[in-house]
Structure 1
Amino acid sequence: MGALSKFLLVTFELVNELYTAVGAGVLGMVVLVKHGLESHCAVKTLTVIGITTASLVYIMSESEQILPNKKRIVCITGCDSGLGFSLAQHAVDMGFTVFAGFLSLDSRGSKEIRKLYGNKIVQIHLDITNTSSVSAAVKTLEHFLSQNPGYSLYAIVNNAGVMVFGEFEWLTEKLIKQQLDVNLMGTFRFTNALCPLLREHKGRVITVTSHCSEATLPGLAVYGATKAALTAWSDGLRVEMRKYGVQVLTFIPGSFTLQSNIMGNQLQNVQDMHDSFTPEQHSFYSDYFKRYNIYLSYITPPPKPVKIEDHGMYTVFEKTLTDKYPRAVYKHENLRYKFYHTMFRISPVPLRDWLVVKFMQMPEYIPEDRGDPDEDFANMPTDDVDTDA
């Protein structure tokens, strides 16, 4: 009975001191540290201090929220399918006015959004690799703002992107340039054209990057390089634009392999790689090239654009739009991604590289692989390919 009473007394003291510490904040912790040192109760004091510190960090991380309304315009690029197609719908459902950029206003994604939302989502033709197209989109925004007093350009979401999956040596100059033009230069071009409006309306720039910006994966060396470059660019832009009241952040949405069309042209890309091989490359890669691309070919896109089903991703996206004082980086990841990408960061290079191979689970290169490359390639499945990273 005496032991139970002592346990209950210690529990009461811990709860009482924890209540005092959380309520009094930093001052309360200072008092507890002093008391702990004087009474030689170091373990109890450190426990209370640890819980209190965690509580204060949590409280401080809960930032003030901005309420969406239709007078705040969110402009999103790359809405023909996948992430852009999904974010445009979610943003308008939140209560924002959405300008959705489509590479083609006759695309399946454009038609589907018209069917679902009518004129609730403003559709604009937007090819971020084309200066004239970007200029026309900016003029459309400017005209809308001039005709609707009280509206503001609240945010742009740089989402448009291209991914070509293949080892670096296999990529043609055209395939490399395509990723650089869309992912990097296109994002620069579009954001640069909107800087005056962003300054005027004190908007925010949200750029979609990838886990590949933190750990570039084999088969995605160029794609990862473009996403890492966007992260570096955002870091510099954030400091430059802060003094003008413009907030800059990046958004890592996670993986949604079966719900996107970011690699919808992969089969044609594989054909281009194969056609550009030298005789030596045909001989060297042979069966490995075939097995590698057969593996990817079984990951197929949906028959029509679909809204991504991932509640966690949308929760994080909402914070990018509504946090009054946004963080530099917003990230959504499942447990597998969280485990592996944490290990990538903290592991020595040999272990890190081994983990990358385990994470990717791609077909293994076997030096003895040889065969007739043209015959092997001709026997590949003709399914469309789609994957994300």
Structure 2
Amino acid sequence: MGVTLTKAARTAFEITNELFIAVGSGIWGIAILANHGLKHNRFFGTSIIVSLTIASLLFAFRTNELCMPDRKKFIVITGCDSGLGFSLALHASEMGFSVLAGCLNLESEGACILASHQKQGLICFKLDVTQNQSIENAMQFIHDVLTEDKNNELWCVINNAGVMIFGEFEWLTNNLIQQQINVNLLGTMQVTKAISPLLRKHKSRLINVVSHCALATLPGLAVYGATKAGIYAFSDGIRVELAKYGVRVVSFVPGSFPFQSNIMLKQHDHSEEMRSAFTSEQEKFYGIYFKKYNSYLCAISAMIKQPGKIYMKDLYENFENALIAQHPKALYIVEPMRYKYYHFFFKYSPYFIRDYLVNKFIMMPAFERPEDYTEYDLY
């Protein structure tokens, strides 16, 4: 057994050493190793080394040229009233693209700010991703804009519209559950389906905004995480489907910026809806905990500013690469080092350690069982 292991280790070392030499020496290294292998009748091993070396060199020296922005290149973004969509619309316009910014409410403060940048190629249009008629109207608007000039091009579509509602799953009303599914998951699918003919025609790219919750769903965000994981899976599937038509599909995971987005702005209203739907048993069991939980969240939402561009350097560096790289990656993740550590341990730790780390990561108020609670006859 020991002899076998020693021989296997020696063989692995020789292969690694030859591969290192070949990569370091480039074409000459490949030629020398191939000649040496053929002379000593090591065809199989030599073929592996040569193949790995060529693949390594192609990867190391591949070029990823950038496509230059142009006002004739149009970017469609959903959910631009505030937060990430608002910021990406402004940034893409500043880069030199023309931007068609889909807004739920054209009278919202964010939409009005974006509309004031029309001279910089930024145009707002109404879009409710949960309404078929609104999507149809939006597609007609986009088609009309693109056909105004034969040189106009649909460069990219960014599915960003999203709703995030904090709350343990039992608390969420059917309305709050359905709202997240309709906007986040079905909305993304419906917009993608409607605009697919234009994506194919212009060989555009499609960027679907996912979330860290798609990679590791957090307590209190079970439904939100499920919708984002669904988008991630959806992107994986259509990336292969659309590639043969020249359409590139990217999953984009932005960083965390809770104080620069109003995605939690309606948390108080949502908590009131949850509380009003409680049964007497739930009111008794969750009362104190529910109050602490939502007081904590509402304090965060109260700190949210009015619509403004998110300040996050890594966000825009990754966004620009996804937008203008000739060969964009399939997945972009923007995350601080703290997130990297946590997500690494979330993925590779046993579940009892992972669940402990998840609770430490999210830092929500702890549950306290009411002292006067008695079990109810539920049925």
| TM-score relative to the length of structure 2 | 0.83
Aligned Cα RMSD in Å?
A: 2.6
- Secondary structure of the equivalent of 1:205? strand
Distance, in Å, in 2 between the alignment partners of 1:175 and 1:142 is 33
C-alpha deviation, 1:89, in angstroms: 0.5
- Secondary structure of the equivalent of 2:147? helix
- Secondary structure of the equivalent of 1:298? helix
Which residue in 2 is equivalent to 1:341? 343
Moved more, 161-170 or 291-300: 291-300
C-alpha deviation, 1:32, in angstroms: 8.5
CA contact (8 A) 2:166 2:220 kept: yes
Identity of matched residues, %: 48
Distance, in Å, in 2 between the alignment partners of 1:34 and 1:263 is 65
- Secondary structure of the equivalent of 2:167? coil
Equivalent position to 2:323, from 293, 311, 321 = 321
Change (3 A) 1:141 1:369: farther
Question: Does 2:95 correspond to 1:94?
Answer: yes
Change (3 A) 1:130 1:119: farther
- Secondary structure of the equivalent of 2:316? helix
Structure 2: gaps (5+ residues): 1-17, 37-52, 374-379
Question: Does 2:194 correspond to 1:197?
Answer: no
Question: Does 2:237 correspond to 1:256?
Answer: no
Counterpart code for 1:314: Y
Distance, in Å, in 2 between the alignment partners of 1:227 and 1:99 is 24
Which residue in 1 is equivalent to 2:266? 265
Which residue in 2 is equivalent to 1:140? 141
Change (3 A) 1:309 1:62: farther
Which residue in 2 is equivalent to 1:231? 232
- Secondary structure of the equivalent of 2:226? helix
C-alpha deviation, 1:228, in angstroms: 0.1
Distance, in Å, in 1 between the alignment partners of 2:232 and 2:371 is 39
Question: Does 2:107 correspond to 1:106?
Answer: yes
CA contact (8 A) 1:285 1:370 kept: no
CA contact (8 A) 1:288 1:365 kept: yes
Change (3 A) 1:33 1:154: same
C-alpha deviation, 1:368, in angstroms: 3.9
C-alpha deviation, 1:344, in angstroms: 0.5
CA contact (8 A) 1:288 1:369 kept: no
C-alpha deviation, 1:72, in angstroms: 1.1
CA contact (8 A) 2:217 2:225 kept: yes
Show the 5 A alignment for 1:26-45.
28=29
Which residue in 2 is equivalent to 1:377? none
Change (3 A) 1:109 1:61: farther
Change (3 A) 1:212 1:31: farther
Which residue in 2 is equivalent to 1:66? 67
Could you list the per-position Cα deviations for residues 241-299 of structure 1 after superposition, in whole angstroms to 9, with x for gaps in the alignment?
11111111100011011000112211110000000000000011121111111111111
Could you list the per-position Cα deviations for residues 210-261 of structure 1 after superposition, in whole angstroms to 9, with x for gaps in the alignment?
0000011000000000000000001110111111111111000110110001
Equivalent position to 2:356, from 343, 354, 357 = 354
Which residue in 1 is equivalent to 2:368? 366
Question: Does 2:349 correspond to 1:311?
Answer: no
C-alpha deviation, 1:302, in angstroms: 3.3
Show the 5 A alignment for 1:171-250.
171-250=172-251
Distance, in Å, in 1 between the alignment partners of 2:66 and 2:119 is 29
Distance, in Å, in 1 between the alignment partners of 2:163 and 2:237 is 23
C-alpha deviation, 1:326, in angstroms: 1.7
Counterpart code for 1:129: T
Could you list the per-position Cα deviations for residues 64-84 of structure 1 after superposition, in whole angstroms to 9, with x for gaps in the alignment?
221111111110000000000
Counterpart code for 1:209: V
Which residue in 1 is equivalent to 2:299? 298
Counterpart code for 1:331: I
- Secondary structure of the equivalent of 1:195? helix
- Secondary structure of the equivalent of 1:250? strand
Distance, in Å, in 1 between the alignment partners of 2:161 and 2:345 is 29
| TM-score relative to the length of structure 1 | 0.81
Distance, in Å, in 2 between the alignment partners of 1:188 and 1:370 is 48
Distance, in Å, in 2 between the alignment partners of 1:369 and 1:286 is 12
CA contact (8 A) 1:286 1:370 kept: no
C-alpha deviation, 1:321, in angstroms: 0.6
Could you list the per-position Cα deviations for residues 28-79 of structure 1 after superposition, in whole angstroms to 9, with x for gaps in the alignment?
37968999xxxxxxxxxxxxxxxx99x9587357622211111111100000
Structure of greater relative contact order (alpha carbons < 8 Å, 6+ residues apart): 1
CA contact (8 A) 1:78 1:103 kept: yes
Distance, in Å, in 2 between the alignment partners of 1:179 and 1:271 is 17
